[in-house]
Amino acid sequence: MSQSQTAVEALAGRPLTTLSEDEQMFRASVREFAEGELRPRVEQMDEQAKLDPALIKQCFDLGLMGIETPEEFGGAGATFFTAIVAVEELSRVDASVGVFVDVQNTLVNNAFMRWGNQEQKAKYLPLLATEKVGAYALSEAGSGSDAFAMQMRAVEQGDHFVLNGQKLWITNGNEAEIFVLFANANPAAGYRGITAFIVEKSFPGFAVGKKENKLGIRASSTTELILTDCQVPKENVLGEVGKGYKCSIETLNEGRIGIGAQMIGIARGALDAALAYTGERQQFGKQIRDFQGVQFQLAEMAVQLEAARLLVYNAARMKDAGIPFVKEAAMAKLYSSRAAERISSLAIELYGGYGYVKDYPVEKFWRDSKIGAIYEGTSNMQLQTIAKLLTGKDQK
């Protein structure tokens, strides 16, 4: 199948927004959980900048931490699209929990399923599906968009590697016990020395450092990691030595669809709040959504959300159908992050002064939306990817 073939064609004309009966039931169950258990905790978790441990346990108990993981390893054995639905529904209420579940599924679990050997899958995937949080450690102080400029080093010594260096901006850093971590085992080979390692929090020489005080997604922990002569067994190399660059690129391509799902969840939450408020707020003797100017703003928000959702769903369906999806994933992340920021900003304006205070939900949607243009590849990097695949030229 060509890259230009859409998932709609691959699925015999099935509309992207049409969910199967199982997908509909799953969406309903996640929404029930988000409304009943998550929403009452959102304000407190945002203020305290910390996920409620009881909520983390519930995510495991409901099977949200191993959605795509095969049943033989304790997961639900569902599709990638199903994981995207979960991230969207959680982010509609709280993007911090949305990204918590997203990183576990679209980055960590997918890295194990794609690159892990049978022993690694048998050891780690059941833990990640049932009790242990995972994190994906790629970024460093000097390697953000240029991820291959990393300074973390891995030196082979007998039956293990010794890792030294620092990672920054690691989502789930405080909660995680299993890390997919990248280090260069052969700096002379450049990016071809980069290797993926499975690092456990209990390994000597491994430490979680500073937790960042963030603008948005505050309940989601973002930390530094410090490795000082950390010994990692050779059997904990994920994939092959020197092939970590392929692992990181391919995993992040999938992860960007997850971020797109987070963004459309934020946008949906902001639009829902705006619709409710404009139906309650009265000025000049009538509801403000009876004014044409307000109606036009709500309509613009709805159009942007639907366009973003279609891009995200299309990329996810393509991934499940085995169709190349890199360009579509970049488009989905780029557009959905812009849409979430615009929609949540308009929601604040529709609330007026109330939109600017923390007593109402829309200011948080806007704060949470901003990260979408930054992590798992900035908007400029998405544009570069799209341009390269459109023109067939390397954009440098």
Q: Where are the domains of the chain?
A: 7-133, 136-242, 246-391
Rg (CA), the chain: 21
pLDDT digits (tens, 9 = 90+) for 316-367: 999 999 999 999 999 999 999 999 999 999 999 999 999 999 999 999 999 9
pLDDT of residue 4: 43
pLDDT digits (tens, 9 = 90+) for 99-121: 999 999 999 999 999 999 999 99
**What's the CA gap between 296 and 302, in Å, rounded?**
10
CA distances from 77 to 56, 109, 133 (A): 20, 12, 18
pLDDT of residue 395: 44
CB burial of residue 267 (10 Å; 0-12, 13-18, 19+): buried
Q: Which residue has the tokens 């209420």?
A: 93
**What's the CA gap between 213 and 232, in Å, rounded?**
30
**pLDDT > 70: percent of the chain:** 95
Please report the sign of the dihedral spanned by the C-alpha atoms of residue 373, residue 374, residue 378, residue 380. Answer: positive
Does the pLDDT at position 179 exceed 90? yes
Q: What is the mean pLDDT of residues 169-181?
A: 98
**What's the CA gap between 127 and 66, in Å, rounded?**
9
Q: Is 322 helix (H, G, I), strand (E, B) or coil?
A: coil
pLDDT tier at 2 (50, 70, 90 boundaries)?
Answer: very low
Neighbours of 127 (CB within 10 A): 17
* Helices 244-280, 326-351: inter-axial angle, 10-degree rounding: 30
Q: In this structure, what token pair is assigned to residue 297?
A: 């703003």
Residue type, 271: L
Does the pLDDT at position 16 exceed 90? no
Does the pLDDT at position 225 exceed 60? yes
Q: In this structure, what token pair is assigned to residue 340?
A: 């979430």
pLDDT tier at 233 (50, 70, 90 boundaries)?
Answer: very high
Does the pLDDT at position 184 exceed 70? yes
* Structure-derived torsion over alpha carbons of residues 186, 190, 196, 200, reported in degrees to the nearest 10: 60
Residue type, 344: S
**What's the CA gap between 372 and 97, in Å, rounded?**
15
CATH architecture of 246-391: Up-down Bundle (1.20)
**What's the CA gap between 90 and 101, in Å, rounded?**
9
DSSP character at residue 71: G
pLDDT of residue 129: 98
The CATH number assigned to the domain with range 7-133 reads 1.10.540.10
Does the pLDDT at position 288 exceed 80? yes
> Which positions ≥6 away from 325 have C-beta within 8 Å?
3, 253, 257, 315, 318, 319
Q: Which residue has the tokens 């939306």?
A: 369
The CATH number assigned to the domain with range 136-242 reads 2.40.110.10
Q: In this structure, what token pair is assigned to residue 383?
A: 């544009």
pLDDT of residue 11: 52
Mean pLDDT score of the chain: 95
Active site annotation includes 376: yes
Residues 318 and 245 sit within 8 Å (Cβ to Cβ): no
Catalytic residue, chosen from 88, 140, 224, 376, is 376
Does the pLDDT at position 378 exceed 70? yes
Angle (CA) 330-334-338 rounded to 5° is: 165
pLDDT of residue 348: 98
Please report the sign of the dihedral spanned by the C-alpha atoms of residue 29, residue 31, residue 33, residue 35. Answer: negative
Q: What is the mean pLDDT of residues 180-207?
A: 97
E-state strands within the chain: 133-137, 153-157, 160-171, 176-184, 194-200, 206-211, 222-233, 237-238, 282-283, 286-287
**What's the CA gap between 83 and 106, in Å, rounded?**
8
Q: What is the mean pLDDT of residues 269-284?
A: 97
**pLDDT > 90: percent of the chain:** 92
Does the pLDDT at position 9 exceed 60? no
Does the pLDDT at position 393 exceed 80? no
Does the pLDDT at position 10 exceed 80? no
Identify the weakest region by mean pLDDT among 1-15, 33-47, 196-210: 1-15
Q: In this structure, what token pair is assigned to residue 7?
A: 């998932």
Does the pLDDT at position 29 exceed 70? yes
Residues 214 and 368 sit within 8 Å (Cβ to Cβ): no
pLDDT of residue 18: 82
